[in-house]
Amino acid sequence: MSTHYRTTIGLVFPDASEMADNQKDFPIPARPQGQSDSNYYRQVQSIIQDLDDESNEVNDYIAQLSDASDKWMALRTSMTGNERLSDNTAYDEFIATTPFPRVVNTLKKYERSLRTQRRKLETTIS
Cβ count within 10 A of residue 93: 11
* pLDDT band per the 50, 70, 90 thresholds, residue 1: low
CB neighbours of 48 closer than 8 A, spacing ≥ 6? 26, 118, 121, 122
Domain ranges of the chain: 3-18+35-125
CB neighbours of 15 closer than 8 A, spacing ≥ 6? 61
The tens digit of pLDDT for each residue in 10-66 reads: 999 999 999 999 999 999 999 989 999 999 999 999 999 999 999 999 999 999 999
How far apart are the C-alpha atoms of 90 and 112, rounded to whole Å? 32
- The torsion angles phi and psi of 25, rounded to 5 degrees, stand at -110, 145
Beta carbons of 125 and 41 less than 8 angstroms apart = yes
Q: What's the mean per-residue pLDDT of the chain? A: 95
